[in-house]
Structure 1
Amino acid sequence: MPIIKSTLTLKELPPPPSDKKEWPWTEQSQPLPERMSDGSEWPRISIVTPSYNQGQFIEETIRSVLLQGYPNLEYIIIDGGSNDNTIEIIKKYENYFSYWVSEPDKGPTDAINKGWQRTSGEIVAYLNSDDAYLPGTLATIAKTFQENCDARVVCGNELKIDSEGFVISESSIEKVDRLSLLHLNLISQPATFIKKSTLELTGGLNLDVHYIFDFELWLRITRLGSMQPIQRLLAVTRWHNDTITTTRRSDVGRELVQVISNELGIYPSSLTRDEIRQILFKANRLSMSLHLEKKKFFASIKYALRAFMLLSAPRLGLEIVQEYYRYLVKPIKSFLKKNKLDTSIGRQIHWSSIAKEIMLNR
């Protein structure tokens, strides 16, 4: 299995499509020296990309990994049997992969676990085939683990972008522990990296969790030790019509309540009864909202009733009522008034512009 032991450059990779510019098409991360500042070798970082029919995005993902300028990289792609142009793109870069395969699997959790089982790095992560790393991410991760030896996980911030690469929002993380996760202070999946030894202790992703498997894994990891947050933009995550978080939002909500309820039942720790009620309220409230977003009104009522039963303050009940008002009444009023839509979209920022700024500042 080939390991990338030298920093790749644009000249060594296949040329990008003629209409593609900037990072990671015509720009690259600054190549790193052969050794870290203390003279030690750069730790091997193993990245797994699960893939299925993401031919329009996967080349950008691949190049964002290979052009990190990182001198000890293992990159694995596990494809679930794509029938679009994904395989053509994978073959274009196959000389730079430690391993790749295209075969039917049981979904992303199965694909990621398969890939992780083949890794040999000290640090591992997975990057979905429609997401990407920002320049210098792997160097930042290696240095952070070196400076925080006890950390089992390092996680940073992400840009959420649309299908065309324009920025929707930017995440910010202050603290990561079991309690913050249970309170739904979520961390960025593509900006999270794990020590391989920690992954082996957890057993990897839970195949019984189909939508929020990363969140469930983070919860199990917090039982073992610390997760180190850093205030650095590391990755972009793409929201489009085919992402699970978009197409299966009601299923995400249902599974969220189940995972949190199971965690509280199996590992209650020192939480008070009021804290548990507050956590369950937030989970059911969010599930209610996600069901409403998918127009599943009657299914949402179950979670709304549970949330009402867990209320800790009257204002929270008012917020639930207001959410149903927005769902039921406002669309009708807007239709009756025949309001004109505001088509102004304001200033849009493409993620490649932020990538360029990062390269200039590192």
Structure 2
Amino acid sequence: MAADTANPSSPRISLITVCWNVEQTIADTLRSIDAQTYRNFEHIIIDGGSQDSTLAIIASAPAENRSVLSEVDGGIYEAMNKGIGLASGDIIGFLNADDTFESNDSLGTVAAALDDEAYDCCYGDLVYVSNRHIDRKVRYWKSRAFKPGFFARGWCPPHPTFYVRRTIYERFGRFDLRYRLAADVELMMRFLEVARIRTVYIPQVLVRMRLGGATNKNVQNISRQNKEVLRALADHGLKVSISMFWAFKIVNRLGQFLRRNRSQG
């Protein structure tokens, strides 16, 4: 159930979009954000100094709650950290520049979940869609309620559905730039497995993600990312069986493809 958008006590969300040369997809992302029925949010765009028409497209879709910072940066996670530093909302989340919300009520669903002060964080499900046809589902990332030890089994929530109170970032830190491909997984691991923040799982699709992101664009990057995840587990002193980690990863990935035709819920 979506939060009451007219209630001034409802949580304010800082939604961050990091982008660089995304003229093919940014308009879809902006339309998806501007169509949200929940309106108590700010939209922060961190652009890495785009050289194509990305900034012109953003300028053609002005919104009172939207701000843009464009400058050369050191990559996606450094840009995300900039966005966190600029955020003024109670809750912080990210929508990538080639992703869209699943429905016009996605932010309202997040706000309703975190209207309960008992929780520090929420996350939901995600569907991967075709680059050219975003209505064509390719993989269904069905998540589940967190239990300690899950990260050692290759599990993590879909980061584009991951919304956290700003106070959690202030207490436990931002993205660790030593992880070039898995800083998002390491951050969620740090928050859930190490800090044991209080989480609630929303059993529905919140975001549509196009295939072909930096991490998943080739087998080499997928391998490098998972090696970084294993390094993060070791860095945090979390016990892991490498063979079981890979086994669970493979089973989970196959399950995403088998679920691709399922509806949300």
TM-score w.r.t. structure 2 length? 0.85
Are positions 1:139 and 2:108 aligned together? yes
1:258-297 correspondence to structure 2 within 5 Å? 258-268=228-238, 276-277=240-241, 280-283=242-245
User: What letter is aligned with 1:260?
Assistant: L
Name whichever structure is richer in strand by fraction: 2
Contact kept in structure 2, 1:77 and 1:97, CA below 8 Å: no
What CA distance in whole angstroms lies between the structure 2 residues aligned with 1:31 and 1:255? Answer: 36
Q: CA deviation at 1:118?
A: 0.5
Quick one: which of 28, 31, 34 aligns to 1:66?
34
Q: CA deviation at 1:32?
A: 5.2
Contact kept in structure 1, 2:128 and 2:208, CA below 8 Å: yes
Q: Partner residue of 1:325?
A: none
Instruction: Quickly say closer, same or farther: Cα 1:257–1:94, change in 2 above 3 A.
Output: same
Q: Partner residue of 1:108?
A: 76
Q: CA deviation at 1:167?
A: 0.8
What CA distance in whole angstroms lies between the structure 2 residues aligned with 1:110 and 1:61? Answer: 21
1:152-301 correspondence to structure 2 within 5 Å? 152-164=120-132, 165=134, 166-222=136-192, 223-224=194-195, 225-240=197-212, 243-268=213-238, 276-277=240-241, 280-283=242-245
Instruction: Quickly say closer, same or farther: Cα 1:265–1:42, change in 2 above 3 A.
Output: closer
Contact kept in structure 1, 2:13 and 2:42, CA below 8 Å: yes
Instruction: Quickly say closer, same or farther: Cα 1:94–1:231, change in 2 above 3 A.
Output: same
Alignment size in residue pairs:
250
User: What letter is aligned with 1:137?
Assistant: S
Secondary structure of 2:14's counterpart equals strand
Q: Whose Rg is larger?
A: 1
What CA distance in whole angstroms lies between the structure 2 residues aligned with 1:31 and 1:43? Answer: 9
What CA distance in whole angstroms lies between the structure 2 residues aligned with 1:33 and 1:155? Answer: 20
Q: Partner residue of 1:11?
A: none
Instruction: Quickly say closer, same or farther: Cα 1:231–1:95, change in 2 above 3 A.
Output: closer
What CA distance in whole angstroms lies between the structure 2 residues aligned with 1:155 and 1:126? Answer: 11
Q: CA deviation at 1:67?
A: 1.4
Contact kept in structure 1, 2:126 and 2:141, CA below 8 Å: yes
Are positions 1:51 and 2:19 aligned together? yes
1:11-22 correspondence to structure 2 within 5 Å? none
What CA distance in whole angstroms lies between the structure 2 residues aligned with 1:249 and 1:189? Answer: 20
User: What letter is aligned with 2:208?
Assistant: V
TM-score w.r.t. structure 1 length? 0.63
Name whichever structure is richer in helix by fraction: 1
Contact kept in structure 1, 2:182 and 2:228, CA below 8 Å: no
Q: CA deviation at 1:285?
A: 6.4
**C-alpha offsets along residues 141-162 of structure 1, whole Å, 9 cap, x if unaligned?**
1111124x33221000111101
1:351-362 correspondence to structure 2 within 5 Å? none
Contact kept in structure 2, 1:161 and 1:238, CA below 8 Å: yes
What CA distance in whole angstroms lies between the structure 1 residues aligned with 2:17 and 2:37? Answer: 18
Report sequence identity in percent: 24
Secondary structure of 2:216's counterpart equals helix
Q: CA deviation at 1:284?
A: 5.5
Instruction: Quickly say closer, same or farther: Cα 1:248–1:205, change in 2 above 3 A.
Output: farther
Q: Partner residue of 1:34?
A: 6
